[in-house]
Amino acid sequence: MTTMDVFTYDVPAESDFGYAQAIRAGELIHVSGQLSFDEGGEFLHAGDFAAQLKQTYANMDKVLDHYDATRNQVVSQTLYVVNLRLNAAATAAGNLGYFGDHRPASTVVGVTELTLPRQVIEISFVVDTKLPA
């Protein structure tokens, strides 16, 4: 039997929209799109791509820490980027900085807008806890 473990930040958006930040089903962890927000759910760094990317990766680390997982166990990610042509180099640099030598499967999607005004990046990912940390 597969067990599930749900992770939330207990921020209003989770109950307003009806979602969890992450859910572990068996050995896989599926993580909802992470973005630039603080512990209270307040959106940070409106319009600042580099700062949003840094905070988004920091929020990814919080999810990984909850499950005692590491970046090396991330098997895939999808990045949603507003104005991709302008932000492509920063996206690549941030990805390389975050993962180092680890190379998860990645899809980068250019979008015209995201949920919040002046939100420019969102990243969802899948983690396999069977992989070595």
Range of the domain at 124: 4-128
Please say whether the beta carbons of 62 and 71 come within 8 A: no
Is residue 14 in some structural domain? yes
Is residue 40 in some structural domain? yes
CA distance readout (Å), 133 to 5, 73, 75, 108, 128:
19, 6, 12, 25, 10
Is residue 28 in some structural domain? yes
Please give the Cα distance from 51 to 49 (Å, whole number).
6
Q: Is the pLDDT of residue 4 over 90?
A: no
pTM of the model: 0.94
11 pLDDT band, cuts 50/70/90, is confident
Is residue 80 in some structural domain? yes
**Domain CATH code at residue 67:** 3.30.1330.40
Is residue 133 in some structural domain? no
Is residue 123 in some structural domain? yes
Total number of domains in the chain: 1
33: tokens are 């799109």
CA distance readout (Å), 100 to 3, 27, 37, 111:
32, 23, 24, 26
Residue range 53-64, pLDDT digits in tens: 999 999 999 999
Q: Is the pLDDT of residue 45 over 80?
A: yes
Please say whether the beta carbons of 69 and 98 come within 8 A: no
Is residue 54 in some structural domain? yes
Is residue 105 in some structural domain? yes
